Every structure is written in structure tokens, then in C-alpha cells.
Amino acid sequence: MEDNIQEMYERAKKAFEEVEFWPQEKVDEMVQAVGWEWQKEETRKALAKLAVDESGIGVYEDKLNKIKTKTLGTLWDQRGAKTCGLIEEDKERGIRKYAKPIGVIANVVPCTNPESTICCLGLSTLKTRNAMIVSPHPRTQGSSYLAVEHGRKALKKIGAPMDLLQCIKYTSHEKTRELMSNCDYAVATGGAALVKVVYGAAKPAQTVGAGNVVSIVDETVDIPATAHKIMLSKIANNSASCSSENAVAVYDEVYDQMIECLKSEGGYLCSTEERETLRQTMWPDGHTLNRDIVAKSARFIADLAGLNVPEDTKFIMVLGEKIGPEDRFSGEKISPVLTVWKWNDFDEIIERVKSMHKFSGEGHSVSIHTERDERRVELAVRANVGRVVCNMPHSYANSGGWGSGLPFTDTLGCGTWAGNIASENVNWRQFLNYTLLSIPIEEHVPDDEELFGDYLKKWGRD
């Protein structure tokens, strides 16, 4: 049966109107019902298997764990959050703040996370009393559709309107554009090209940007432990995550030790000739990443490039040479390929990272392994990113993790640096409107001393 976008929107709008004024307790029960269904082992197994089978990318076991982590983590972040009715009151200022839903939200989902993205954003839109219509990626429309069907099953169980969650069954670019144009709001997880399409729909939208995480390592940390953390993060789901490290920048005094530790963790360092062979395989035309290597294993990529690597190779390393389009290894790779840089001046490596981000990944994230808090602070102040992750496996922490305080999500805003409306981890907070109720308070008009006191003492009134 052909999808009728206008009809889907009307059904979603009707469902939204049914829950628009539900109390918090009823909303929270609905969210728990859907979350429980999505975290079930049998549900996760079906979704993870279909996602890998359809896309041919990623790792089944990693997807299985990720669906559970993202679902439970999103629920954990939402616990106790007020999203209905009066949520704040400032009696001194005479202000009461009321949370309001938006309406029907279009969710454009990537093939890298076609199921967990739905879990994160679905729970967030339900928590805020919104309806969601999913536009799946053409390669993974079955797994996205199945995820939504499980959500609808949970809604039906508790008597909530099933059409709060819907999914286009036979996707296309035309249907995605039509969906975004019809809906009240859009959220899209994808690269720069998608951002332009989303904003072209002329609707308010949450978008994301490319990831190009550089992990800075200094001399103060346990080098073997740090190498292990980077390996764990780098190989997770074959680097499908935009939060996967794309490069490591190592202080020169510990550089040789770090390289040896990365090798002991399964890294293979390419020679100059092997690097060029790999480059030609990954960017056959010199600038477009070969989709056949995206989120594939290191051994698969090595075989495709004709590289002779050890059987136990988990990721491939290349030395960094230049920054920018003349050397694509300085940008996002969406694969277990890691670019290695050396540094001896912290100020310089921050500027180098900023240059890499200007080329690819500005606004997204950066990683640092150090025990010097002043370095963490300096990086956070100077880098044009939304997140700085310290001393952790980056992809385990950046979009939420049990050892990280960052909010759970699969959708990472990259701010105005990447043409996004927000630089935060997108969750329920981005799916609310607010109404401020103001009542009269005792009038107070500040005098010159209150407003200009310090200035006037220093410069006078002339």
C-alpha cells in the first residue's frame, strides 16, 4: 500500500490532539510502556539483526547493546522531568512557566542507527506529548519500520493512540521532503547535505553535523589504558558512530609508547605506500568517501585495498600529513581507520584541531586524555565544538553513557558552526514550547548607581 503523507499527518495530528493535555502521570506511563517494549531482548535482537542485514554495516552485538543502552539511558535522563502543565514558578518575579507540545514531528533517520535513533527520539517526543512520523533511510527502511511497529504495539497495550508513532513504509527523497513540509517540526540525523534539504522545507528543525573527533593525548595519563579506551571506542559498531575517534594526536614524549600500545590493541600502522593505496580505495575520485567501506571491519577494508594485515587487526592507522581537502585522512572517515598526529605544543595542537574541524566536523566534539584540568578547560574554551570528552572512550560517552553525564541521544547538535539550531545532545528538552504567565509585582525602576555604579566610579559622568 502506497504511503499517503497527508493522511499520515492527519492521523498523527488527531493522535496528538488526544494527548495534548494529558497529565504527567499518564504521559510517563505511556513512555515507560514504549521503553519497556523497545528494551526487550527479543525486540532488540530482531531490530539489530534486520538493521545489519539491510545495511550491511555495523556489528550485530554492538547494535544489540546500543539499543538497550540508548533506550534505558533516555528513560533515565527523563526521570522526574516535568513536561506537562506548570513546570516552574518564580514567585518573586511573578512568573509561571507552562510546557507545551509542538505537534507532529518529522524524524529523518540515518542508516547507521536506524533503530536506536527511533528509540531515543521516540521516547523524547512521547515524553513531550508530540506525535512522530519517521522517514527511514532507503537502505534500512525495514528495521526503522519494525522499530516503530513495536512502539505502536506498546501504545495499543495501554490504550494510548497508536498514531503517535508512524513510519513511512516505502521511503523516497520526495516523500521525505513532503513529510517535512507537512509536519510542524523536523529533526534530522545526517550530514551537511541533509541539513540543507531539511531547512529547505521551511519548517523549524533540529539538525546535526559531521563528526571528526580528534583525541588529544598528553604525557600525564596511563598510556596503555588510554590506548585501550581509544581502541574500544574506535571499533564499536565498526566506527558507524559520528562520535568515533577519527584521529589521535599524541604528545611527542609519549608518542612512540602510544603507537606501540595502539598496535598491541589491534592497530595496524600503514607504510607510506600502504597509506596511498588505502587513500585510493577510500576516496576513489579523490573527494567522495567510498560507501563500500563505511562501518565495515578493518579486515574488510584492508582486503578491499589489497593490504596484507595481521588476522587480529581491529583498526588501521595512517600518519597525518596535511589538513584539508588535499588529505582526506584529516576528516571524517566513518570506518575503523585512525589518523595519527604528533604534537609538542598544546597551544599549537588546539589550533591544528580547529583547522581540522574547519575542514570537517566543526561544532561536533573533541576528546582529550589528560590529568591537567587547565588543559581540559583551555580546550573547552577555545575549540568550536559542542562537547569535550575527557579520559573516556569517546563513542561510549559523547552521546550518553553510564559513566558520562552527557545526555543520552543519537542526535548531536553542532550549533551554528555546522548550521544547526542547537549545539546540545538532542533529547526531550528540544521538543517543547513554553508559555510564560506573568502577574503584577511591585514596581522597581533601577537608578544610575544600580546600573552604572562601577563604570561611573572609574570614568565619571562625562
Whether 1 and 130 have beta carbons less than 8 Å apart is answered as no
Using one digit for the tens of pLDDT, what is the confidence trace for 207-257? Answer: 999 999 999 999 999 999 999 999 999 999 999 999 999 999 999 999 999
SS3 156: helix
Strands (E), 256-405: 267-269, 315-319, 337-343, 363-369, 385-390
SS3 425: strand
Question: How far, in Å, CA of 137 to CA of 110, rounded?
Answer: 5
Kind of pairing between the strands at 267-269 and 245-251: unpaired
Q: What is the CATH number of the domain that holds 366?
A: 3.40.309.10
Nearest CA to 212 among 183, 178, 239, 251? 239
Which residue in the list 111, 167, 242, 414 is annotated as catalytic? 242
In terms of domains, do 272 and 190 share one?
no
User: Which residue intervals of 104-167 are DSSP H helices?
Assistant: 116-127, 141-157
In terms of domains, do 264 and 140 share one?
no
Which range marks the domain in which residue 356 is found?
Answer: 213-396
Give the list of residues 6+ apart from residue 19 with CB closer than 8 angstroms, or none. Answer: 26, 27, 30, 129, 160, 161, 164
In terms of domains, do 202 and 165 share one?
yes
In terms of domains, do 219 and 183 share one?
no
Mean pLDDT along residues 52-75 = 97
In terms of domains, do 172 and 287 share one?
no
Residue 43 forms part of a structural domain = yes
Question: How far, in Å, CA of 169 to CA of 141, rounded?
Answer: 7
In terms of domains, do 43 and 60 share one?
yes
In terms of domains, do 200 and 219 share one?
no
Q: Can you give the pLDDT at residue 1? A: 57
Is the pLDDT confidence value at 195 over 80?
no
In terms of domains, do 48 and 138 share one?
yes
In terms of domains, do 296 and 352 share one?
yes
Using one digit for the tens of pLDDT, what is the confidence trace for 135-180? Answer: 999 999 999 999 999 999 999 999 999 999 999 999 998 999 999 9
Question: How far, in Å, CA of 48 to CA of 144, rounded?
Answer: 10
In terms of domains, do 169 and 288 share one?
no
Mean pLDDT along residues 266-279 = 98
Domains in the chain: how many in total? Answer: 2
- In the residue annotation, 414 being an active-site residue is answered as no
In terms of domains, do 146 and 237 share one?
no
Question: How far, in Å, CA of 257 to CA of 346, rounded?
Answer: 19
Residue 443 forms part of a structural domain = no
In terms of domains, do 65 and 156 share one?
yes
Question: How far, in Å, CA of 90 to CA of 102, rounded?
Answer: 24
In the chain, the percentage of residues whose pLDDT exceeds 90 is: 96
Give the list of residues 6+ apart from residue 158 with CB closer than 8 angstroms, or none. Answer: 29, 30, 33
Is the pLDDT confidence value at 434 over 70?
yes
Q: Can you give the pLDDT at residue 49? A: 98
Using one digit for the tens of pLDDT, what is the confidence trace for 297-313? Answer: 999 999 999 999 999 99
